[in-house]
Amino acid sequence: MKISIKTNLYDILDKFQWKWVNVWLNDGKILKVFLLDIDFLEDIWVKLAEFYPPLHFGGLEPREYITKYIQDSFSHHRANLEPDGPGTGGTIVGVMAGGHVIHDLEEMIDDTVCTLSLNSESFDYQDWKNKWRGKA
């Protein structure tokens, strides 16, 4: 998809596949959850970053900048979750750090969409945000 200043943000997000899955719990309950991974969010943010001028993010291409951001975010959260040193928090620390990275990426995407929508009268940021947060 070629992105230009006239591209609608909804068109970008529609290109990504959303996936709902059923999760069976030990007590027999079934939860319908939205499947999301870091790569999915990275791809969304990279597509949004294409609205900015080339090398806008620290002199790097969007993918390079965002990949570094994700790596740094994971390192930060992992270190924060293991104050007694690497390996002291058990195997759950990687999962928890990944969850924090997902949260960070969701916030960065939200910030980017908000900024890009400031000059658009045709884009309803609050409506998008409600849908993004699952409140619509």
What is the tens place of the pLDDT at every residue in 48-68? 999 999 999 999 999 999 999
Euclidean distance between CA atoms 31 and 22, whole angstroms: 6
Model pTM score? 0.72
CA distance 13 to 1: 11
Separation CA 96–CA 25 (nearest Å) = 20
Of the listed ranges 33-37, 93-97, 116-120, the least confidently predicted one is 33-37
Direct distance between the N- and C-terminal alpha carbons of the chain, in angstroms, rounded to an integer: 27
Asked if 81 and 103 touch (Cβ cutoff 8 Å), the reply is no
Residues 23 and 59: their CA atoms lie apart, in Å, by 42
Which pLDDT does position 21 carry in this prediction?
Answer: 61
Q: Residues 64-88: pLDDT tens digits? A: 999 999 999 999 999 999 999 988 9
